[in-house]
Amino acid sequence: MSTQTLEYHAPSRNWRRITRHPALMEYRRLIVLVAAVNIAVLAWGLREGIWHSDAGFALGPISHMALANLSLGILIRQQRVINALFWLATRIPTSWPLWIRWGAGKVFHFGGLHIGGTVTGTLWLGFLLYAMVANRLSGAALPSDLSLGLSGAMIALLSMMIFTARPSFRARFHNAFEKIHRFVGWTVLALFWAQTLSLIHDSGAALFESPSFWMLCLLTLSILSPWLSLKRVKVEIEKPSDHVVIARFDYGDTPFAGSSNAIAHTPFGEYHAFANIPSPGQSGYRLAISRAGDWTGDFIDNPPSHVWVKGITTSGVARIEELFTKVVYVGTGSGVGPILPHLLKGMVPNRLIWSTRSPRKTYGDALIDEIEAHTEHPVIWDTDTLGKPDLSALALKAVRESGAEAVIVISNQKLTRKVVHDMESQGIPAYGAIWDS
């Protein structure tokens, strides 16, 4: 098959090339939406005198806005909330108009609410600290020095978390990012408790009548929840090549197709999430782990007998296949792992385009035979013999030949964004990871 005959050509004049550009993806639109709502609330409060009066700044309303935004940023990342969002989105029947299902499929962009809520919440905390200092300088006895100190420490730590969460920092120092996000996050939660109790004491309010108290109870439970289910489990490793291993688990959990689990070597170590591969009628599941860095390289070279599993099975991008009558899956390398459970389940008719080097040599005959037996006319492109394909052209061809309604891409960031953009420029719903965490 010639790569030249399959070359994708984007139309020179196509408004979707602009409106569906990755820079304008729903993730970023949600960040802008959160910012816009907060600006509107701020402006309304300034007009109505909510934030300030003759007696000084009103600390209660400002602190409530800070807590509301930070709560949004934290709760939207809770695994049970994520599963609920996916469940709601996929309740839409396939008989509904495609444009509605296209939008619902973008449910996995909820990370925009996480970023928007965390950043705006930190800004409101900054406003709160300014208001506290202004009140003290005007002669007020409250808030106390303790409340001021706790607020300043929270802002400093939250600013550190936001800075180190930037994509460039995460990509270069992922281990540091994960540790900072975890341990600094826990510290901020403890400081939030201390600040709330200090402010309640300053104001003389009743603890159990404070909305902040109950919201903090919910946030604490949300953050603790994944760690309450932490478990050490046995793993069996199959090593078809030095590039990939198939990890098998059977400890009483059989996850659903389109989900992932996070594993680590130690209980508080570096966790990595991988797509689960359950097989219909069988207990347990598999993970396909390919060499993509120090952690995965060590996992392949020194296979463990046990690993730690944190949290509950969590929905992923590919689960949105349920919104469509037929889909085309596009994968590269070990990206076939998240795709395979959907091929095995066969709930939604599909076509597969998989580009990888020496598929049988790298992944083993059993896995390739399993793939070929569970999808219609799969295109398994061997890059060692055929070179790199034009995945956009192959995907477009498969959509037109099969009548598929959507394309789901599991690949690296650059290829994922390119194929998604190319497909949506043609009016074809397309989905792929957005690397927001």
148 close to 132: Cβ distance less than 8 angstroms? yes
Assess if residue 427 is contained within a domain: yes
Kindly state whether residues 142 and 188 are assigned to the same domain: yes
CA of residue 244 relative to chain centroid, distance: 24
Lowest mean pLDDT among 292-296, 326-330, 405-409: 292-296
Give Cα 181 to chain centroid, integer Å. Answer: 15
| Mean of per-residue pLDDT scores for the chain | 92
Instruction: Write out the two tokens for 67.
Output: 């807590």
Q: Judge if 107 and 159 occupy the same domain.
A: yes
In a domain, 2, yes or no: no
Claim to verify: residue 109 and residue 213 sit in the same structural domain: yes
Give the CATH number for residue 261: 2.40.30.10
Q: Give 52-106 pLDDT, tens digit per residue.
A: 988 899 998 999 999 999 999 999 999 999 999 999 999 999 999 999 999 999 9
Cβ(118)–Cβ(436) below 8 Å: no
- Closest by CA to 333, choosing from 389, 294, 397, is 389
Of 45-59, 111-125, 129-143, 198-212, minimum mean pLDDT range? 198-212
Provide the CA 385 distance to its chain's centre, in angstroms: 35
Residues 57 and 157 in one domain: yes
Give the 3-state secondary structure of residue 269: coil
Out of 253, 284, 315, pick the residue that ends a domain.
Answer: 315
pLDDT tens figures, 167-211: 889 888 888 888 899 999 999 999 999 999 998 888 888 888 888
pLDDT at 262 exceeding the cut of 50: yes
Q: Which residues contact 127 (CB under 8 A, 6 or more apart)?
A: 51, 62, 66
Q: Do 323 and 301 lie in a common domain? A: no
* Higher per-residue confidence, 270 vs 109: 109
Examine the pLDDT at 1 and tell me if it is beyond 80: no
Residue 144 CA to its chain's centroid (Å):
39
Please state, for a pLDDT cut of 70, what percent of the chain lies above it.
Answer: 97
Spatial CA neighbour of 136 closest among 154, 148, 122, 149: 148
304 with 344, same domain? no
pLDDT of residue 10: 63
- Express the helix, strand and coil content of the chain in percent, nearest 5 each: 55, 15, 30
Say if residue 158 is in the same domain as residue 298: no
Same domain, 204 and 298: no
Residue with tokens 């973008």: 106
Q: Looking at residue 405, what is its pLDDT? A: 97
Of the three residues 281, 315, 349, the one that is the final residue of a domain is: 315
Domain count, the chain: 3
Q: Report the C-alpha gap between 312 and 229 in whole angstroms.
A: 7
Q: Are 235 and 307 in contact (CB under 8 A)?
A: yes
**146 and 256 inside one domain:** no
* Inter-CA distances, 433 with 155, 316, 422, Å: 31, 9, 15
Rounded mean pLDDT, 219-223: 96
Q: Is 11 a domain residue? A: no
Query: 67 and 205 in one domain?
Result: yes
- φ, ψ for residue 311, nearest 5 deg: 80, -165
d(Cα 425, Cα 293) in Å, to the nearest integer? 33
pLDDT of residue 140: 87
Strands 379-382 and 350-356: parallel
Least confident of 9-23, 84-98, 288-302: 9-23
Q: Distance of alpha carbon 92 from its chain centroid, rounded?
A: 22
List C-alpha distances in Å: 436 to 115, 256, 276: 9, 23, 20
Q: What are phi and psi of 379, to 5 degrees?
A: -105, 105
pLDDT tens digits, 334-389: 999 999 999 999 999 999 999 999 999 999 999 999 999 998 889 999 999 999 99
pLDDT of residue 43: 97
Going by their DSSP bridges, the two strands 406-410 and 327-332 should be labelled as parallel
Judge whether 405 lies within some domain: yes
Residue 41 has pLDDT above 80, yes or no: yes
Q: Could you tell me the sign of the dihedral formed by the alpha carbons of 296, 302, 303, 306, in that order? A: negative
Judged against a pLDDT cut of 80, whether residue 215 lies above it is answered with: yes
Q: What is the phi-psi region of residue 287: left when phi exceeds 0, alpha when psi lies from -120 to 50, beta otherwise?
A: beta
Residues 136, 261, single domain; the answer is: no
Residue written as token pair 């309640």:
200
Q: Which two tokens stand for residue 330?
A: 């596009």
Q: Which pLDDT score, from 0 to 100, does residue 5 have?
A: 45
Domain boundary among 287, 315, 343: 315
What distance in Å separates the CA atoms of residue 274 and residue 137, rounded to the nearest whole number? 53
Q: Is the pLDDT of residue 437 over 80?
A: no
Whether 14 maps to a domain, the answer reads no
pLDDT above 80 (res 118) = yes
CATH code of the domain covering residue 209: 1.20.120
**pLDDT confidence band for 15 (50 / 70 / 90):** confident
Structural domain of residue 162, as residue ranges? 51-226
CATH of the domain at 353: 3.40.50.80
323 and 311, same structural domain?
no
376-413 pLDDT, tens digit each: 889 999 999 999 999 999 999 999 999 999 999 999 99
pLDDT band, very low/low/confident/very high, at 4 (cuts 50, 70, 90):
very low
Is residue 321 predicted with pLDDT exceeding 90? yes
> Which sign does the torsion angle of CA 39, 41, 47, 49 carry?
negative
**Residue 13 pLDDT > 70:** no
